Amino acid sequence: MRMAPVIVGLGGSTSAVSVTGLALDRCLALAAEGGAEVRAFDGPFLAGLPIFSVDATPSAAAVELAEAVRGADALVVATPGYHGGMSGLVKNALDHLELLRDDRRPYLDGRAVGIVVTSSGWQACGTTLVAARSAVHALRGWPTPLGVMINSAEQYPDASGRFDARAEGALTVMTQQLLDFAGWQAAARAAVS
Ligand SMILES: Cc1cc2nc3c(=O)[nH]c(=O)nc-3n(C[C@H](O)[C@H](O)[C@H](O)COP(=O)(O)O)c2cc1C
């Protein structure tokens, strides 16, 4: 019997109510409904990471994040658009994946990565999604064909955490792409073992 895929989400912000964090939660809830085991590293957790330095001994939080990503079958990265790109908080978390450099599967190798961007305008949604995809490519990850853009000036979740139909549709499709990719990877591993 195949094990449940593990999907690790990281992102959000330290805002009192982070719409990016809510979008990440919604994405992981959909993944859990689809049969995944999920774990989230939210804005407050990421704010506990030091600014990454190659010379520093990794903090306990950094090791925890790296271990979780190492064991993940797929990831979700959720960032607000800050001045046209990823927030420093989320980029710093990705920089910490340098700790996976010497792994058998370095960085995000072999893992699908869904990207969720929230911005108060569509232009920053687009530029930030492209920037985040470039970072995932640099980390050897496989960005899903669909990335999710949420314009937080127009789209906000209801009390149940659900977004409008457009955002829900995109989150659902992207989550299914993560689950599909993780399943294909597991099947390929089983075929060669
Ligand atoms: C420092 C900062 C920079 C921002 N830059 C942009 C921007 O360039 N374009 C844009 O549309 N929204 C920008 N925003 C708005 C945020 O992207 C938007 O409100 C986002 O949904 C906030 O996510 P959060 O609730 O998770 O913090 C910026 C917000 C902050 C705090």
- For residue range 22-35, what is the model confidence (pLDDT) as tens digits? 999 999 999 999 99
Residue nearest to atom 7 of ligand 1 (CA): 83
Burial class (CB in 10 A: 0-12, 13-18, 19+), 176: middle
Cα dihedral 179/116/61/57 (nearest 10): 100
The response to whether residue 14 sits with its C-beta less than 6 Å from ligand 1 reads no
**What is the rounded distance in angstroms from the CA atom of residue 95 to the CA atom of residue 180?**
27
Q: For residue 13, tell me if it sits in a domain.
A: yes
The response to whether residue 151 sits with its C-beta less than 6 Å from ligand 1 reads no
- For residue range 48-104, what is the model confidence (pLDDT) as tens digits? 999 999 999 999 999 999 999 999 999 999 999 999 999 999 999 999 999 999 999
Q: For residue 121, tell me if it sits in a domain.
A: yes
The answer on pLDDT for 1 being more than 60 is: no
The answer on pLDDT for 2 being more than 70 is: no
Tell me the CB-side half-sphere exposure of residue 158, using CA atoms within 13 A: 7
**What is the rounded distance in angstroms from the CA atom of residue 93 to the CA atom of residue 30?**
23
Closest among 119, 121, 29 to 80, alpha carbons compared: 119
The response to whether residue 177 sits with its C-beta less than 6 Å from ligand 1 reads no
Q: Which residues of 82-100 are buried (b: 16+ CB within 10 A; e: fewer)?
A: beebbbebbbbbbbbbbbb
Confidence of residue 186 (pLDDT cuts 50, 70, 90): confident
Q: For residue 101, tell me if it sits in a domain.
A: yes
- Give the total number of structural domains in the chain: 1
The response to whether residue 157 sits with its C-beta less than 6 Å from ligand 1 reads no
CATH (domain of 83): 3.40.50.360
Domain region containing 172: 6-192
Q: For residue 1, tell me if it sits in a domain.
A: no
String of DSSP letters for 29-46: HHHHHTT-EEEEE-HHHH
Contact yes or no for 86/118 (Cβ under 8 A): no
Taking the mean position of all CA atoms in its chain, how far away is CA 40? Answer: 9
Burial class (CB in 10 A: 0-12, 13-18, 19+), 19: buried
**What is the rounded distance in angstroms from the CA atom of residue 63 to the CA atom of residue 49?**
10
CA–centroid distance, 23 to ligand 1, in Å, is 14
